[in-house]
Structure 1
Amino acid sequence: ALKKANIAEIPKTWPQVFEDAKKLKAAGYTTCGFSGSWVTWVNLEQLSAWHNVPLASKANGLDGFDTVLEFNGPLQVKHLENLVELQKDKTYDYAGRTNTGEGRFTSGECPIYLTSSAFFGNVKAQAKFNFTAAPMPYYPDVKGAPQNSIIGGASLWIMGGKSAEEYKGIAKFLTFLSDTDRQVWIHKASGYLPITKAAYAKAKEEGFYKDQPYLETPLLELTNKEPTENSRGLRLGNMVQLRDMWSEEIEQALAGKKTAKQALDSAVERGNQMLRQFEKTAVH
């Protein structure tokens, strides 16, 4: 697709993504120059960490339940304004709140797509074209960018009140999961990141990334720089519900019903109300 549009190299910055998406549209990709999944993860959460600006106070919630959302700053507003403008002629085309739009990449409709590195398994199985994964784009006028990305994933919860024997079984299972060879195998097969440094080191020693360098891309992003308070991670109560509400506001902006600033101001205000409710019920 890039060759067809006479694009010589993979875009590194957001302005380059926007420009290349316009060229791709002109080259025949009329319904989608670029798109992405997990709209808040890409355009608020990772955007903020990658540019070393806060998503919320108190180290994005890691340092206290009284965290306050702060993602309605100049960078985030400018970025949403860019998406709103590009949405008008489908240079950018919104693909939903979760990852349901990923088929638009594997089908060849959207030649540039932002989503989780865990998309690799689907791409490898379904894409009928050459592909790669590149680092997330950044705005070159933001001092210090890019910073480091934050990890996605999930939590593994273990209930209390078990017997010593039961806890031995749980410990055995966790040891099974974190086994170096097993982590390397899962990483190679799926694109999910290894959960230990030992597994990453072993995959590297085996020369895995020489043939598939795009599988190292997210690991290089995570370790790009020493984390700051803005890029250590996130801990916000009711995160799933917060994301839905933030997505709702972004959708209002993309539909032209609110300005980017109005949408993000509203997302912050409504989100802070949700966080204060969570704070009352949180276990200190």
Structure 2
Amino acid sequence: MFRRPLRLATLLASTLVLASPAYAVTEIQWWHAMTGGNNDIVNRLADDFNTSQSDYKVVPSFKGSYPDTMNAGIAAFRAGTAPHIMQVFEVGTATMMSAKGAIKPVNQLMKDAGEPFDPNNYLPAITGYYSTSKGEMLSFPFNSSSMVMWVNLDALKKADIAEIPKTWPEVFEDAKKLKAAGYTTCGFSNAWATWAHIEQFSAWHNVPIGSKANGLDGFDTELKFNTPLHVKHLQTLIDLQKDKTYDYSGRANASESRFSSGECPIFLTSSGYYASAKGTAKFNFTSAPMPYYPEVAGAPQNSIIGGASLWVMGGKKPEEYRGVAKFFTFLSDTNRQARLHQESGYLPITKAAYEKTKADGFYEKNPILQTPLRELTNKEPTENSRGLRFGNMVQMRDIWAEEMEAALAGQKTAQAALDAAVTRGNAMLRTFEKSAK
């Protein structure tokens, strides 16, 4: 007569144990901007982490383009619904730094969680971009890249072009040959217009984008990219646009399919485009360093990083932060980083992952993935090529692109467009200074 109550008590006890908070899974929301093959990689990373342990579950959510994701995250923070992790592209760094209370610095996160973390284990060109002047890392490097020139090798062969162009004059000449060979709508083009023709262009030629080491040494900077070299380059693009030897492809990267479809045989965009190009292009292709003007002394210099990092948002619970820290440790694993680099085309974020990839002989079989590394390390960085950190950079890029588009449409001269881009950009910098104080 005692068996039934005993069984009931045992059942209730078991139910209470299973419902105990100790067995609850802590969810970690991760907002990102990855599309195509890289979206698949993000989902797999989350799945791999989730199956490696039972305490935390990372839930990735695609939130649109880089600017869309950043704007959504900032709006969510103000509404008290921010994710735990937000992917922010590199030009949003100054804005995130100045958002007091909105972020939890990654160095503090890892320290509080007791997770092993040494900034010296990461590639200096990457960590420097996301650290304070004291070397304190603010965000976690994730998909770092640089701009490279993607080349359709079959198209070059069809146009009887023997070598991949190295200089801008060679690109212009080869693009005319490609047009004559049947690529009538686009000899060459690019994604990320201002990144290609202002930011990377300036660093690669060792000329300033702005004062104060392009803003890295202080927010009170003045823009400088309306020089004769910049004007000459934009004017050449204007001239070539008239017959589609050059064809403008927009401000962001939605146009990258123009390369993989075969329409644009020479195309400048991120090295992180590798996964998508590999999965969609039906021709032989490779990547090469960005072109340069040979008459510019010291060119080429070195490229600057692009891509994005992972920012941890403020106001979360200690247990949630522990889960984020463990996820970052998981991401830093040498084998995982090496595989991520080899599959996505993004840079290995740790020195160990780079050395492993090199020791395994991967670059000998896949030199395409070493192109951005060679660009970044081409020469010791200067004040003009360490990177950039401008406030309101997301909005400024739109202003710069707007002026470039006016020039390409024949509405302004190259000089007038770049003068206006500098003047309007400086006004935005002054506004940001006031808000950041």
Cα distance, 1:158 vs structure 2: 2.1
Aligned counterpart, 1:216: 370
1:89 and 2:240 equivalent? no
1:251 and 2:401 equivalent? no
Aligned counterpart, 1:27: 181
Question: Cα RMSD over matched residues?
Answer: 1.2
Q: Partner letter of residue 415 of structure 2?
A: K
- Following the alignment from structure 2 to structure 1, what is the Cα–Cα distance between the partners of residues 419 and 165? 30
- Following the alignment from structure 2 to structure 1, what is the Cα–Cα distance between the partners of residues 414 and 332? 43
Structure with a larger share of its residues in strand: 2
Aligned counterpart, 1:195: 349
Q: Partner letter of residue 78 of structure 1?
A: K
How does 1:63-212 map onto structure 2 within 5 Å? 63-160=217-314, 166-212=320-366
- Following the alignment from structure 1 to structure 2, what is the Cα–Cα distance between the partners of residues 109 and 273? 39
Q: Partner letter of residue 179 of structure 1?
A: D
Cα distance, 1:168 vs structure 2: 3.6
Q: Partner letter of residue 199 of structure 1?
A: A
1:6 and 2:160 equivalent? yes
Aligned counterpart, 1:52: 206
- Following the alignment from structure 1 to structure 2, what is the Cα–Cα distance between the partners of residues 182 and 68? 41
TM-score, normalization by structure 2:
0.63
Q: Which moved more, 1:182-191 or 1:55-64?
A: 182-191
Rg comparison, structure with higher value: 2
C-alpha distance after superposition, 1:172-197 (max 9, x if no partner):
22211222111111111111111112
Partner secondary structure for residue 158 of structure 2: coil
Among 246, 249, 264, the alignment partner of 2:418 is 264
Q: Which moved more, 1:7-16 or 1:191-200?
A: 191-200
- Following the alignment from structure 1 to structure 2, what is the Cα–Cα distance between the partners of residues 159 and 96? 31
- Following the alignment from structure 1 to structure 2, what is the Cα–Cα distance between the partners of residues 279 and 168? 34
- Following the alignment from structure 2 to structure 1, what is the Cα–Cα distance between the partners of residues 316 and 207? 42
Q: Partner letter of residue 255 of structure 1?
A: A
In structure 2, do the counterparts of structure 1 residues 161 and 110 end up closer, same or farther at CA, with 3 Å as the change threshold? closer
Q: Runs of 5+ in structure 2 lacking a partner?
A: 1-154
- Paired residues, number: 283
Q: Runs of 5+ in structure 1 lacking a partner?
A: none
Cα distance, 1:167 vs structure 2: 4.2
- Following the alignment from structure 1 to structure 2, what is the Cα–Cα distance between the partners of residues 162 and 106? 42
Partner secondary structure for residue 115 of structure 1: strand
Cα distance, 1:164 vs structure 2: 5.5
Cα distance, 1:138 vs structure 2: 0.5
- Following the alignment from structure 2 to structure 1, what is the Cα–Cα distance between the partners of residues 356 and 308? 24
Partner secondary structure for residue 113 of structure 1: strand
1:239 and 2:399 equivalent? no
Q: Partner letter of residue 2 of structure 1?
A: L
